[in-house]
Every structure is written in C-alpha cells, then in structure tokens.
Amino acid sequence: MNKKIAIVTGASSGIGEVTAHQLVSAGYKVYGTSRRGALGHNTNNQFTMLALDVNSDESVSAAVNEVMRLEGQIDLLVNNAGFGVSPAPAEESSIEQAKAIFDTNFFGMIRMIQSVLPHMRQRSSGRIINISSVLGFVPMPYMALYSASKHAMEAYSESLDHELRTAGIRVSLVEPAYIRSAFDANQLQPDQAQSKNDALRAMLDQHVKQALEIADGPDVVAKTVVKVALTAKPKVRYTSGTLAARLRFLRKFAPAALVEAGVRKDMKLDSWLAAHR
Ligand SMILES: NC(=O)c1ccc[n+]([C@@H]2O[C@H](COP(=O)([O-])OP(=O)(O)OC[C@H]3O[C@@H](n4cnc5c(N)ncnc54)[C@H](OP(=O)(O)O)[C@@H]3O)[C@@H](O)[C@H]2O)c1
C-alpha cells in the first residue's frame, strides 16, 4: 500500500522534529521543513528536510510543488512553525514586531493551507493539524501578541473546518501548555523595551523558567498529533498534556472571574506589582 504523505513545518527542532519522527513510525512518508532546509540537521534518514520560510509566498509554493512533483499527493499538513516574544508588557512591542509574529504564526499557516488545499480538494481527502497553544484559549498577561496570534489561528481553523468537512478534509488544533524545547531560546526580545520594566521582565522570565523545569517534552505533543492524524473522526480541538487539559477544563466550566484570578495568582502578579509600585 502507498504511504501517506505528510508535511511538517518547523521540523528542525522541538515539537516539529519529534512529530516528524513519530509520524514516520506511524507509517507516513514525511517532508519536514525549516528555513535552513537540510543544512546542519540530521534526520537519521528517516525523513527529508526541505527549505521553507513560511513568511514567503514563493518559498511556500516552491516547497509544496516539490512535494507534489515527488509524490503526487499530500495527505497531512502539520502547521507547527512558530515563535513567541519573550514575556513583557504589551506596549514594549512595536507594530512591526506584531506584524512579524503574525506573519509566521498566522499568515504562515494560511500560506501553507492555501498552497496544499487545491491538491487535497482534488482528491477529496486530507488532514490539516495546526499547533496552537493553551494561550489560544486562555490569554496570559505579558504574552499579548503570542496569545493573539494563537487566538487568530484557533478562529481561522474552526471556521475552515466547517467549510471543508463536506469536501473530505478536516482541520484540527493541538493545544499544548509549556513544552521543553528551543522555543524559549528562540523567542524575540521586545523591540521597545523600557528599563523601568527590567525587574518585571526578570520576574516573568523566572516564572517561565520554573514552569519549563516541570514541563512535558515535545514527545507528548507529537503523540497527540499522531493520534489526531490517525483518528477516523477528528474533533476541532485537542489539548496536549495534563496541564493543558486542566486549563481547558477550567476555561470550560469555571466562571471567568475565577479563571482570571487563577492566572494572576499563579504569576503572583498582584503581590509583585504592589511590592514594586
Ligand atoms: N514550547 C512550548 O512551550 C510551546 C507551547 C505551546 C505551543 N507551542 C508551539 O509549538 C510550535 C513549535 O514550537 P517549539 O516549542 O518546537 O519551538 P522551536 O524548537 O523553537 O521550533 C520552532 C520551529 O519553527 C521553525 N520556524 C520558525 N520560524 C519559521 C519560519 N518563518 N519559516 C519556517 N519555519 C520557521 C523553526 O525552524 P528554523 O528556525 O530552522 O527555520 C523551528 O523548526 C510553535 O508553533 C509554538 O508556538 C510551543
């Protein structure tokens, strides 16, 4: 039987890399992508790396055309490429920085989807899995741009899934909480940082560092992606890991004021801000 063909964006590290490996183990032929392509990346010959910058229309269509030339079909697209801005007050990021994060996390996803959809429509078959975050349903303070980019991804995905169901194509979201990867190191620094906020940013960095010490590894998310790819009747949303499931439960059943208070308490925000007034 012919293998199913998958594209995983951002497969040079973290969640994307482990997902590519786990999809290979599940029987897919995988094309991973990153801006560097195969340069300096060892896939143990399990999957092929292609150069692809999700910020570029030309780069996206060149990579998708190459997979179509080689395989003639695309069964699964995992939109995983993405980055964050290091936790900081929202006004410390310029409009240019807001555009940059949306260009990758949101428009990058759209570029990929628009490029593969005609091929999926032609075969009336396909799966699209978008790697969102718990911040796609619970916005966290000092992570406004990243939260907004993942909320945009969530809305787009849910809308698109409605449109595509009758065409034999499904769209799902995978929502992890903190995951140990290069994500933290790859975040942009706020480009309008003010020295008066240095202590606040240091406190936020420490908070994230502590959370990452007990966080799941990327394998947990990869496992969820494989489960979603293989299930006969996919849902639109899947949390990944126990913390994410707990947050989803709270968001669904707890009163909004309780969730807000929980977010502030977890970050010790009110006591810290009062002490540093
Ligand atoms: N780690 C977490 O705590 C966490 C939690 C929830 C959700 N997520 C989401 O999971 C996804 C993967 O994150 P990760 O933790 O695995 O981070 P990571 O290790 O930093 O990996 C990010 C990947 O995205 C690629 N990438 C970044 N910008 C790109 C661009 N313009 N074009 C193509 N590829 C690009 C990077 O490849 P190159 O730099 O080689 O191009 C890299 O392979 C992201 O969407 C992130 O928002 C992460």
pLDDT in tens, 16-57: 999 999 999 999 999 999 999 988 788 888 999 999 999 999
Structure confidence at residue 124 as a pLDDT band (50, 70, 90):
very high
Domain at 95, CATH number: 3.40.50.720
Using a cut of 0.85, tell me whether the model's pTM lies above it: yes
As beta bridge partners, residue 148 has none
Mean pLDDT of 76-91: 98
CB of 82 closer than 6 angstroms to any ligand 1 atom: yes
**CA-closest residue to ligand 1 atom 20:** 183
Nearest to 90 by CA among 211, 205, 194: 194
| CA angle (239, 5, 153) in 5-degree steps | 35
Instruction: Locate the ligand 1 atom nearest the alpha carbon of residue 9 and give its number.
Output: 34
**CA-closest residue to ligand 1 atom 46:** 82
pLDDT in tens, 224-237: 999 999 999 999 99
Q: Can you give the residue range of the structural domain that contains 245? A: 5-275
Total domain count, the chain: 1
**Do 109 and 79 touch, CB atoms closer than 8 A?**
yes
Show contacts of 21-27: CB within 8 Å, 24+ apart.
21/46, 21/47, 21/222, 22/219, 22/222, 22/223, 22/225, 22/226, 23/47, 23/76, 23/78, 23/222, 23/225, 23/226, 23/229, 26/226, 26/229, 26/230, 27/3
CB of 181 closer than 6 angstroms to any ligand 1 atom: yes
**CA-closest residue to ligand 1 atom 23:** 10
Average pLDDT, the chain: 97
Radius of gyration of the chain (CA): 19
As beta bridge partners, residue 8 has 32, 78
Mean pLDDT of 180-200: 97
Instruction: Locate the ligand 1 atom nearest the alpha carbon of residue 212 and give its number.
Output: 3
Query: How far does the centroid of ligand 1 lie from the alpha carbon of residue 174, in Å?
Result: 14
Please tell me the distance from the alpha carbon of residue 7 to that of residue 19, in angstroms, as a whole number.
Answer: 11
Catalytic site positions: 12, 132, 146, 150
pLDDT for 42 equals 84
Please tell me the distance from the alpha carbon of residue 162 to that of residue 171, in angstroms, as a whole number.
Answer: 9
pLDDT for 2 equals 86
Mean pLDDT of 211-226: 97
